[in-house]
Structure 1
């Protein structure tokens, strides 16, 4: 079995309030790129996980990896031998671990079917995991686990992801949020909501990793019609009208930065 763990981006991310339980009330538009980590699995006598790829070394505890945790809670026979090709940077605002877990859920769904409470099981692994199971554009509310369908009018849109190769943990970014509610998502389809939206975590992320500003400035000088930071950073994305614009923009990005070019699903 093989499955791609599609990179997640937040086309808009509105932080509405800090909740009594310490989490934040969010409104976000999830979107997914048609590329990411790659997983392969084969039946085995017990679960095992092998990690390869450019960013495989960043996963220092593969047995505590979210893939292993996902398998523990899902029917898959005696075990699976899983190989993860880690192509997405870690702590990058791309939901890489959540995307990996989402890919596991899809493989289990195809092989055994998912239990009726799979959404709750996914949410226990992480706020982004339920959205990553389907890996299609949707709106997330609450901590991001309360999903709503949305008109996915941006499917096929060329997208470029750029990261300055600086990991950025989510916790400190949320801690740096200024606490101001700037209002809800607005629009009837993905394009409208994205254009009307914002990322409320961007100022806090910039305080921690000023290089994010360099990425945003570089992308804004291209032919992109939308440039924004994803999630808690430090990855930024640019959306284009044509593949040619995307290729020109990619050529303008410094070679020292990580890039991923693709299309929205």
Structure 2
């Protein structure tokens, strides 16, 4: 058996810089990961199978096109395998749950079968976020997700509060609602940042270009963002990915934990989690 953690992916920034002739959008994003996520376990079996457990299992019925199964097929291996997905992250939430699960499946099967990972093209076919989720560390992601650049300077320590109103937002619909697809990219050289306050100041000058169209489709996202912003110690609040999850950035873990407890108490129907940012 092999087990892998599927960390939540957070887009601290997400600039939409263009669109290719085939319709795929070009992005420029500062991506980090959080120490909350799903868990993938794989074991030898007679055939390929998937079982989903965990608190979010009810929102994700097993289907043949599940990214976990598609990732297993990407190996092209004949061995049977039994896969268990312990689901903790909300579905269709803008924090890369499905992509993180696919990446964790690839890592787990590589360990189980003692095989190299599939080539980059096969990984990208699984989804634009799967390559970055394979890295599991803070990077700059560009193009359609295939161009991944390690950061020249390590990001400072930071803690996140993630909040999702349990509303799924379809990524294609958010992109269709974009009124402009040629926004400026981030600076070519990203600055060295001393602490979480400096990181927040930098992020204030950057954007998530999908936030406005996502709020147009799901106005509750604005409520989530405002709820995070109102918490003591929150340095910046922003939507991640195509939504509906938003994050608040905090300078210390106690402030983040207190904010998560307060927000969960105020909004018991939301999914809320405090997490350390993996830089």
Query: In 2, Cα distance between the equivalents of 1:248 and 1:260?
Result: 11
Preserved contact between residue 150 and residue 189 of structure 1 (Cα < 8 Å):
no
Shift, 1:8, TM fit = 0.7
Shift, 1:75, TM fit = 6.1
Change (3 A) 1:135 1:193: farther
Structure-1 residue corresponding to 2:229: 220
| Superposed CA offset, 1:26-57 (max 9, x none) | 11111111120111111112211001122222
Query: In 2, Cα distance between the equivalents of 1:180 and 1:45?
Result: 47
Structure 2 residue ranges without an equivalent (≥5): 194-198
> CA RMSD, aligned part only?
1.9
Query: In 2, Cα distance between the equivalents of 1:41 and 1:6?
Result: 17
Structure-2 residue corresponding to 1:114: 116
Query: In 2, Cα distance between the equivalents of 1:76 and 1:133?
Result: 19
Query: In 1, Cα distance between the equivalents of 2:15 and 2:242?
Result: 12
Change (3 A) 1:203 1:151: same
Give the TM-score normalised by structure 1: 0.93
Preserved contact between residue 49 and residue 63 of structure 1 (Cα < 8 Å):
no
More divergent stretch after superposition (206-215 vs 139-148): 139-148
Give the TM-score normalised by structure 2: 0.88
2:191 to 184, 188, 193: 188
Query: In 2, Cα distance between the equivalents of 1:156 and 1:44?
Result: 41
Change (3 A) 1:208 1:123: same
Query: In 1, Cα distance between the equivalents of 2:152 and 2:63?
Result: 37
Structure 1 residue ranges without an equivalent (≥5): none
2:217 counterpart of 1:208:
yes
| Superposed CA offset, 1:68-127 (max 9, x none) | 111112166612111111111111101111000110121133331324x52221101000
